[in-house]
């Protein structure tokens, strides 16, 4: 065996380290919650609490049934694990709202 040869234990250890790094990276991105003060969120009028949307500025929300039927959780852009396609699949509040709301 030469010094360039990896042992089975070394290969296994490197594989485990690599898996841990990938797992941590995917977990970090899944927990990336959209903030209301981000430029895209401001432009779309995103609010974590859909009841606080300024209906003068965003009349689309005011036209919703009983002014509360529109929410991220019933939007066509809402995906698995409470993510939104409009925000690059980052997490949003299920009870939130933005001007990109589209019925399912």
Q: Kindly report the CATH number assigned to the domain that includes residue 66.
A: 4.10.490.10
Output the pTM of the full model: 0.67
The answer to whether position 51 is within a domain reads yes
The answer to whether position 96 is within a domain reads no
- Give the rounded distance of the alpha carbon of 80 from its chain centre: 9
Q: How does pLDDT run along the chain (104 residues), one tens digit per residue?
A: 555 787 888 777 777 777 666 555 554 454 699 999 999 999 999 999 999 999 899 999 888 755 558 999 999 999 999 999 999 999 999 999 999 999 98
Q: How many domains does the chain have?
A: 1
83-90: long-range pairs with CB below 8 Å, 24+: 83/30, 84/34, 86/40, 86/44, 87/34, 87/40, 87/41, 87/46, 90/29, 90/32, 90/33, 90/34
Residue 63 CB: number of other CB atoms within 10 A?
10
Give pLDDT, residue 69: 84
- Give the Cα separation of 47 and 25 in Å (integer): 27
The answer to whether position 49 is within a domain reads yes
The answer to whether position 46 is within a domain reads yes
The answer to whether position 2 is within a domain reads no
Residue-range definition of the domain harbouring residue 43: 33-91
- Give the Cα separation of 59 and 9 in Å (integer): 63
């Amino acid at each position: 065996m030469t010094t360039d040869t990896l042992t089975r234990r070394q290969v296994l250890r490197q594989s485990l380290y690599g898996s841990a790094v990938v797992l941590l990276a995917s977990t970090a991105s899944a927990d990336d919650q959209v903030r209301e003060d981000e430029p895209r969120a401001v432009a779309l009028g995103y609010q974590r609490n859909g009841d606080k949307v300024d209906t003068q500025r965003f009349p689309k929300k005011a036209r919703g049934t009983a002014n509360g039927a529109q929410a991220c959780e019933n939007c066509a852009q809402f995906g698995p694990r409470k993510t939104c396609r409009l925000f690059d699949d980052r997490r949003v509040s299920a009870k939130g709202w933005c001007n990109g709301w589209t019925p399912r």
